[in-house]
Amino acid sequence: MDIDLKIFCLVEGEPMSSAFSVKVSSADTVHDLKDAIKAKKSNDFKDIDANQLTLWCVSIPITNENKDDM
C-alpha cells in the first residue's frame, strides 16, 4: 500500500523560513523526489538537472535562537 508523504525541504544556505514542502508517494524513488523538488523550485534550479541535486536527511531542532526564523 502506497502512503502519501509530505517532505519539508530547505536549500542549503537559505533561512528556515524558506522551507517548502513536496508531496511524494512511499513507492516513489529518490529520483522521483528530486524531480518533485526541482519542479517546486524550478526558478532556483533552472540551470541544474534533478539528478545533480544532493539530498540530505536532517533534523533541525527548534531553539530560542532559530524559532524566529520559522
State whether CATH 1.20.144 applies to domain 4-69.
no
pLDDT tens digits for range 38-67: 999 999 999 999 999 999 998 878 788 776
In terms of Cβ atoms closer than 10 Å to its own Cβ (0-12, 13-18, 19+), residue 28 is middle
Nearest residue to 55 via CA among 37, 28, 69: 37
pLDDT tens digits for range 5-28: 999 999 999 988 899 999 999 999
Contact 50, 38 (CB under 8 A): yes
Cα gap 70→53, rounded to integer Å: 24
